[in-house]
Chain A
Amino acid sequence: MFLSLLLVLLIGAVAWAGSAVGFASLFGVALPYLALAVFIVGMVCRMAYWAKSPVPFCIPTTGGQEQSLDFIKQAKFDCPNTRIGVFVRMFLEIFLFRSLFRNTQADLVGNNGTGTVYYSSKWLWCFALVFHYCFLLVFLRHFRFFTEPVPFWTTCLETLDGVMQIGAPRFFMTGGILLAALLFLLGRRVFNEQLRYISLVNDYFPLWLLVGIVCTGVCLRYFDKAEIAMVKIFIMGITHFSPVSPDGITPLFFAHVTLVSALLLYFPFSKLAHMGGIFFSPTRNMANNSRRVRHINPWNPPKQYFTYAEYEDTYRDVMAEVGLPLEKEPDRAAE
């Protein structure tokens, strides 16, 4: 955990110091271009890598009643048998984290500790959902830096986000909630024994990276305030592929940009690829209709089995003894 924290701090510090001593273009221009390219190419390659392997069998996890008889009510979305059903199941999975919503926590109870209860445990679902949506909103809000004129929806988002009207500049709720959600996700890894045991650097690093991104972002807005006009000109330069001089922008801005770049660079090579992977998951994106529609396995090996003829040859006499019908009667079998 500390290793990944140090790594994130190091990345931030190098970018901050580097841009302070005149390498701002490196961190503010070259790196983002590179990171974005790696992210896009990397994710495309990763998805192509998955897609290259076939799905040999139809293996949805059925999360409810199958479609069978008229009078039995099917769980249309947890156990879909049509494309529309699968679409809804995937929609619920991706946008509402359906499976995580089922989460329970097992605990031993009773006077001798031999009873088990399963508490509904929606915290992970809640914070995971909050994290992902706030991240999305924060990302969308940033479009005011990337676009000119600023689209109407971005302004709307900002208004909504700052609806509490706290402070000046107005406090954006999403930033704060995002940080809280990240700290929760980090906290479970630290304080939950099971999670602590399974967590790797690969788990802490992206969390710290995101914490770093949020913190630098928050600082840029409320504390070490960036010169917004200059930042916008600078970013528009990048988006129009005609970078302008980064002079005069606070080094913290470049630390922020560098951390985001690090995230993009890391993304396709890590568990974060789950963003694309969820769409490929065969236990979720297939219809439970494999008795109705034959699923084809491209590498289906040839049939090889102990045939009835071999079976009858082996057991003909005893089969005749109990009067089982035979293809060849014992006296004719030798022919």
Chain B
Amino acid sequence: MAKLPAPQDLLASRPPFQGEHWLDIKPDFVPGGFCYPAKKETMELLHMPNPHEWDPAADDWGLPENWEQTICDAFAERLEKHRSLKLFMDICVRCGACADKCHFFLGTNDPKNMPVLRAELLRSLYRRDHTMLGKLLGKTIGARGWDKNVVKELFCYAYQCTECRRCSLFCPYGIDTAEITMIVRELLHEVGLGTHWIMDPVKNCSFTGNHLGIQPHSFVEIVEMLADDCETVTGIRPKTPFNQKNAEILFITPSGDVFADPGIYTFMGYLMLFHELDLDYTFSTYASEGGNFGSFTSFNMAKKLNAKMYAEAERLNAKWILGGECGHMWRVINQYMDTYNGPAPANMILPVSPITGTTFTNASSTKMVHIAEFTADLIHHNKLNFDPGRNDHIITTFHDSCNPARGLGLLDEPRYVLNAVCNNFVEMPENTIREQTFCCGAGSGLNTEEIMELRMRAGMPRGNALRYVQQKFGVNHMACVCAIDRATLPPLANYWAPGVTVSGLHELVANALVMKGEQKRTMDLRQEDLPGVEEDESAAQEGEGE
């Protein structure tokens, strides 16, 4: 990875708007500016169209001979399938309200990263082929035809959008760039263009159940190790049920939390919480991925990967599914899953918390509950004992992940939990949180190393908001409810607000959780010493000595 410029240099190096009209500016592919292309064998294995080796920096991208016809037909087909697309192509008035709402635009100052112009890349093509005035007047009114540079441009900017939907919140017509980006990515896949960092996890999720392609036995072993770590910290080894039939609850969380620091601590948090509740639940090695990289590829791929959840709930005869902390996973579950693969299998019932008896009526059809809803309900009914003082060494803020914020509306549940387990919780500025939250800069399959500088640019608004509360309130921690955030925010914090650590919500829950029969906690889940504990002990000993 190339060395990153200092934050102020990064911002100072944002180029001014060029005089040239955007239609005349060709995309530029320099290393560091694009994600690596998907491998041929991956695409073959997934039966994607036109699998081939190619290089974004090269002139020739190896498009199939009839590429133009293929894309045009695919575009026309999608117009017939999605009212949103037709509408969003037609009704934008270019009022510009979306322009400075996009983190990619704020960080790069590239005009084509203004959501309006990102959509205009496709709209200009729509005008030529699907509107009367565009056919008649052409370029005068911003219509253009396809050529290979247009394909490159679409690739360039469809992978500089994290489908975070912030623009759609501010748009007076609700035009959703995520919808457009998703469809542009579908069009690009029609001619064999995809990125490695998305398609490799898709392949792995598809055939092994999780995005790193860890096989079932290794998966089990890793989770056992995490359970051992829980024992080290608490003296209690939580149970780790796998593929158990007839458990009440099937628990599905992003597999990233099983493998990657700091997600593993969130995972340990789940293990401890469920053990403390003596919850009748099971993991599944088959449906071990909550995240859905298919949703960064195409609607059908998302459906295909998501299908495993209900299939496994049916096979295991689970009553309902509890879902872990994840961003895009929850967009898929809330807005797509039931449509894709529902109705839920007949063995599933309306989710009821076995601890509190609360009925989750808001999930009566999908039968899938968010862990923050589940835990908030437990806390509200006083079912958990906490010692929030164990989190006193942190002053935390909370990062709303885009998808739970703008595709689900999960805002106050995690805050409710956070307030119960931490004594020091500070919000970031109001235009950067809740439904107005800024993306981590690397969602929707962009959290790959090769574009680190681009990620840091896109993460600028989040990074600045974080540094603001770091400087003003001494914030040294950021909690989030998204596995991708847990992967992307640590480098972002390290760059924009060094000294701030990142964790999932349930890591903090487990840190504060007083378990029945646990040993005195001297360290947190990361096995770092809890400040204050040793002094307490020595003070106690001195007291005894007197």
Interface residues of A (CB under 8 A from B): 3, 46, 49-59, 61-69, 71-73, 75, 78-79, 81, 93, 97, 99-100, 102-106, 108, 112-116, 118, 124, 128, 188, 192-195, 197-203, 269-271, 273-274, 277-278, 280-284, 288-297, 299-301, 303-308, 311-312, 314-315, 318-319, 321-322, 324-325
Contact = CB atoms under 8 A, between A and B. Distances in A.
Given A73-B412, A273-B90, A297-B339, A291 B217 contact: no
B50 interface: no
B311 A280 contact: no
Contact of B334 (A69, A291, A306, A321): A291
Contact of A305 (B100, B179, B308, B363): B308
Interface in B70-112: 79-87, 90-97, 99-101, 106, 111
Contact of B410 (A66, A81, A104, A124): A66
B172 A105 contact: no
Interface string B274-288: 000000000001100
Contact of B464 (A81, A100, A116): A116
Given A59-B335, A69-B373, A69-B376, A202 B141 contact: yes
B338 A69 contact: no
B339 A296 contact: yes
B502 interface: no
A66 B93 contact: no
By CB atoms of chain B within 10 A, which of A192, A269, A290, A293 has the most? A290
B285 A319 contact: yes
B210 to A, nearest CB: 12
Nearest to A78: B435
B411 interface: yes
A68 B363 CA distance: 9
Nearest to A185: B95
Nearest to B85: A53
A112 B7 CA distance: 9
Contacts of A195: 94, 96, 99
Interface of B is mostly: helix
Interface in B353-385: 358, 360-366, 368, 373, 376-377, 380
A291 B86 contact: no
Interface in B420-458: 429, 431-432, 434-436
A112 B10 CA distance: 11
Contacts of B299: 56-57
Interface stretch (B34-42, B340-348, B507-515): B340-348
Contacts of A69: 358, 373, 376-377, 380, 413
Interface in B105-130: 106, 111, 114, 116-117, 120
Nearest to A58: B335
Given A99-B171, A118-B432, A311-B286, A322 B12 contact: no
B112 to A, nearest CB: 10
B97 A100 contact: yes
Contacts of A102: 169-170, 436
Contacts of A289: 362
B347 to A, nearest CB: 15
Given A68-B362, A106-B100, A291 B172 contact: no
Contacts of A200: 94, 141-142
Contact of A61 (B7, B83, B96, B169): B169
Contacts of A296: 339
Given A283-B168, A303-B307, A59 B176 contact: yes
B172 A295 contact: no
Contacts of A63: 169, 406, 435
Which among B286, B373, B461 has the highest number of chain A CB atoms within 10 Å?
A: B286
B106 A324 contact: no
A56 B81 contact: yes
In order of increasing CB-CB distance, the 6 nearest A-B pairs are A66-B409, A277-B91, A62-B409, A283-B174, A118-B431, A274-B91
Interface stretch (B186-194, B229-237, B242-250, B533-541): B242-250
B11 interface: yes
B418 to A, nearest CB: 13
A53 B338 contact: no
A93 B168 CA distance: 13
A295 B208 CA distance: 29
Contact of B342 (A46, A100, A201, A294): A294
B106 A57 contact: no
Given A116-B461, A319-B216, A53 B86 contact: yes
Interface string B187-224: 00000000000000000001111000001110011000
B307 A305 contact: yes
Contacts of B405: 62
Nearest to A3: B140
A321 B217 contact: yes
Contacts of B220: 322, 324
B387 to A, nearest CB: 23
B499 to A, nearest CB: 16
Which residue among A100, A202, A299 has the maximum number of chain B CB atoms within 10 Å of its CB?
A202
Nearest to B465: A116
A50 B409 contact: no
A115 B464 contact: yes
Nearest to A301: B300
A124 B94 CA distance: 12
20 contacts: A3-B140, A53-B79, A53-B81, A55-B84, A57-B335, A63-B406, A66-B362, A68-B410, A69-B413, A194-B114, A278-B173, A281-B174, A283-B175, A283-B179, A291-B334, A291-B364, A295-B338, A303-B307, A304-B307, A324-B243
Contacts of B216: 315, 318-319, 322, 324
